[in-house]
Chain A
Amino acid sequence: MSGTTQSRKAPERGESTSPVVLELRDLHVFYGAIEALKGINLTVRRGEVVALLGANGAGKSTTLRTASGMIAPREGQVLLHGERVDGIKSHDLVRFGIGHVPEGRGVFPRMTVRENLQMGAYRFKSVDKDDLDRVFTLFPRLGERKSQLGGTLSGGEQQMLAIGRALMGKPEVLLLDEPSMGLAPLIVQQIFEIIKEINEQGTTVLLVEQNASQALRMADRGYVLETGSVAMEGGAAELLSDPRVRAAYLGEGAA
């Protein structure tokens, strides 16, 4: 156990030997006749931050939706601790420890911040006071706005609320879909630091991001999707220095 956290601190990526938590095996996902995922393989080990990069429409959100049970794959498997969970509905999968913060946040607009967070603990009998305190410590801005309505929060605050609400469900794996979307650079910085903190407190993170350099700097490993397939994968530092990644996603050294 302690070895896990140590290997996280020393960035010997890819060498992590902690057990696999989430595994996607040869996933094929269709929207009608459109094949959005054409055989994705992906593993996430306990304690890792894994970044999922790719152009618009590459299938990143679809991958997360499949992992959290919002869509069922036509072929392939989703494994949680080695057990198949594909086909389980998202509301049941929450109980298996998957927390999904969907693209576009989706806070309950007419519930207060506190009610939103309480909804996050819906799967439990009662709201864990410590979890609530933890969220307010991670996001002091939410603490100042406990009785403000979700829909009246700023975009960044809504993102914080969405992440906070997912944390209230005590997820083992947190799936984050573009948490930096539409946020000012300073707030993006903050959100990334908080994600890192959440990870250090023991939550495994699968992070979809357009903000490739920042995501890779925080991640242990990364995957790059291209039109529904994995084009590249590897340690975060390795990807960060890969010329193809730099050209395509970091806007550098274009041919």
Chain B
Amino acid sequence: MQASDRFNINSQLEHLQAKYVGTGHADLNRFEWAVNIQRDSYASYIGHYPLLAYFAIAENESIGRERYTFMQKMLLPCGLPPEREED
């Protein structure tokens, strides 16, 4: 049972990551982890209207503009990924 699990685990993880965006795993690097957190945060801000309104008041922008800004930021929340080191 356990042996076959080891072969399946990768595909299960892939499946989970496809189904629930933002699922992590043990070998996550710092950048990807931060990206997941930022994206979750932005999604939460967009989803909770009072929090969106709170940001809009702080920045003196319209709520629609805040929503748009957060959605745009979800693309590259922490900037470009770091250069991959070639092994």
Does A associate with B in a complex?
no
Chain B residues engaging chain A, CB cutoff 8 angstroms: none
